[in-house]
Structure formats: structure tokens, C-alpha cells
Structure 1
Amino acid sequence: MTLARSEQAEAVLRAAELLHDGAAVELAITRMAEQISERLAQSMPLVLTVMVGGLIPAGKLLPQLRFPLEMDYIHATRYRGETSGGELLWLARPQAPLAGRTVLVIDDILDEGHTLAGILDDCRAQGAKEVLSAVLVDKRHERRFQNLQADFVGLEVDDRYVFGAGMDYKGLCRNLPGIYAAQED
């Protein structure tokens, strides 16, 4: 089964279109770091990485934030290894207290926004003073949940299935340095 999934992922990658190469991703991360630093340098925020997709963007972004901060993670998903989402499933909530804190949530992509909206609402419900979001990729379309917008955005993509730089194709290819669009079926 693992070999079949690997072969499928390789076939998808061969047919995919490179939208943003690794250099463009790095440049976007640096720009986001500058914007976040300007906004949050004096607030000692709690930074929550959304697992698993936010791991790579956060890993590139956090070393560029040269101010005191606390880190934790959150894990909520709607996809469970698929290409379309279902009901929000909580796998882990942060251990650090959020009450009275400025919280920055880092995720890979803002698509329709159901997952991110649920996470942001949960942070507010736990008493966070301010909740901001940073996403590597903002997908352009008209299906946004409650008109949700990220506070910090690295790159934009058209309404296509994208993977790489933290985003997956059926659980694979998150480790690619660039951002690819899967070929339309």
C-alpha cells in the first residue's frame, strides 16, 4: 500500500504545475516575518502552530522573529488525509494558557477557512486578548467561510488543489520546497 501511495504521489508531482518555487516561498516567509515583527514585537505573543500543515511554514518563520515569544501547537483537522474536508476534529489543544494573551496562529493555507475559523474561535473562547493569523498561502475564491481573512499572508494562489511547503497531497509531499498545483482531473 505504501508503494502504491508513493507512486501515486510521484505521478501527481510529475503532472503538477509549479506555482511558486522554493525561493519565492522563502521570500514570502521573510516578508511575513517583517510584518509580524512590526506588529507583535512588543507583545510577547503565544505562537500556535497548526499541525501538521503549519509545521514547515512555522519552522521557517519563527527563527526570523527576533523578539520574545512563547510557542505551542494546536491540531484540528477536517481532511484526515483526503482532498476535501468534513467535520472539525480536535486532536490537540494548546497546553499554554491563552487567557489575556496575544495569540498568533500559523497555518499553511487559508482555503474556505472552516478549520482556521474554528481554531481562532477556540482561542477567543479560552480568553485570548487578541488573536491573529498567519498563513503561507491564501487561496483566491468566493467560498470563504464568514469572509475570514488572515492577518499575515505569504503568497496567493488561484482556486486549485495545491501542495508542498507544508500542504499535502493525500498526506504526502508536504516536504517539497515549492508550491505545486495538482493537474485538474
Structure 2
Amino acid sequence: MKIQIADLEFEKMIVYESIEKRAMQIGEQLTEEYRGRLPVFIGVLNGSFMFIAELLKNVTIQCEVAFMKLSSYHGGLETSRTITDEFDLNVDITDRDVILVEDIVDTGNTLRYLIDKLKSRNPASITTCSLLYKPQAMEHVIPELKYIGFEIENKFVVGFGLDYQDLGRNLKDVYQLVIGLQPEA
């Protein structure tokens, strides 16, 4: 099934049931790894809002939740490589275990920037959990990227929090851009 978002066409790539199952698996892993501790889950807005909600349904230990907002896409199909801080963290993370929750890691530029920024606040640890990961697009080695929902090809995607021109975040499935479409006769 294809859908239209703004001026582009997308086709289904990952169905919600698969996302739900993978979030449950990761949530159980995080519960075991952080048992007896009080981690702070930090969602990176706007894209992570659906994934962090799905993930935290499956984390059964006590935890705190906070959000930050960064931007590097600014509405287009490719990262602008200019990272904008739009909303900073309002929780003290000194000596705390931090779990960053991302919608997607592609080049790693935004994640590297964010990890470096948070390290200056002296957390006990930083781990990253991302719904999607594009290994072919990576420009950085990021050892903190430990939990990955799905590895995908280097294609533009929308849905489940990800957007194109601020549209498509509400879709429960993940869709990939259709390339090379021929006009219908």
C-alpha cells in the first residue's frame, strides 16, 4: 500500500506489530540491565515520542522520563548538518544512568553532538536506544548506541514519529520513500 505525504509517495516498510514486538524485547532487556537502578530516559523530540511511549510500556522498573528537542533535518529529505538546540533538558543527570531514546540514527552527527553535550553534565552512564539505524549512512563510531529496533537501508522514512515536512509522524507503521516512480497513464 502506497500513501502520499505532501508531494512524495511512500510505501510500507515496517508494520506496527513488528515495532510493538521489538519495543517489548528492548524494554525487557532494559528492565534487566537497569534493575536496582533509577535510569533517566531522555526522548529526543519530536521524532522519538511514539517510540519512547511504546518502549516504556515494557520497562517495568522505576525510571524517570524527560525530553530534549534537537533538529538537523529542518523539513527536508537530508540532514542539514546544522544542529539546532530547541529545548534543553531540565533534569539534573549528575551521577545518573541516562538512556537516550531516538527515532533514527543515520549519520550519527546529532547523536554524537547530544552525547558530548550530556557528558559535560557528568552522568554515571549514557546508553542510546534507537528505533531505526542506518549503518551505511554512519559517519561516526558511537559506542553508546547499544539498543537498535531495526537496521534499515539508507532510505528516507516516515511514520511512527518520523516526518516529512512535519507530516506523517502520526502513522503507526514506518514507510519508505518510493524512488523512480513512473507517472500513471
Task: Give 4+ residue runs of structure 1 displaced > 6 Å after superposition.
Answer: none
Correspondence for 1:4: none
TM-align CA RMSD: 1.7
Contact 1:82 1:171 in 2 (8 A): no
Correspondence for 1:56: 50
Alignment pair present for 1:67 and 2:58 = no
Percent of residue pairs bearing the same amino acid type: 21
Aligned residue among 102, 105, 112 for 1:107: 102
Aligned ranges 1:84-99 → 2 under 5 Å: 84-86=78-80, 87-99=82-94
Contact 2:4 2:10 in 1 (8 A): no
Contact 2:42 2:100 in 1 (8 A): yes
Correspondence for 1:178: 173
Alignment pair present for 1:9 and 2:5 = yes
Contact 2:6 2:165 in 1 (8 A): no
SS in 2 for 1:121: helix
Aligned ranges 1:109-148 → 2 under 5 Å: 109-141=104-136, 143-148=137-142
What letter matches 1:157 in structure 2? I
CA distance in 2, matches of 1:43, 1:172: 37
Correspondence for 2:17: 23
Displacement of 1:11 after TM fit? 5.8
TM-score (norm 1): 0.89
| Structure 1 segments unaligned to the other structure (5+ residues) | 1-6
TM-score (norm 2): 0.89
Alignment pair present for 1:160 and 2:155 = yes
SS in 2 for 1:16: strand
Contact 1:53 1:167 in 2 (8 A): yes
Deviation string, structure 1 residues 100-151 (Cα, Å, up to 9, x no partner) = 111000010111111111111111111111000000111130x313222521
SS in 2 for 1:64: coil
SS in 1 for 2:56: helix
What letter matches 1:133 in structure 2? T
Correspondence for 1:79: 73
| Structure 2 segments unaligned to the other structure (5+ residues) | 181-185
Correspondence for 2:183: none
Alignment CA distance shift 1:11-1:82 (3 Å): closer
| Structure with greater proportional helix content | 1
| Structure with greater proportional strand content | 2
CA distance in 2, matches of 1:135, 1:37: 16
CA distance in 2, matches of 1:161, 1:52: 17
Deviates more, 1:72-81 or 1:148-157: 148-157
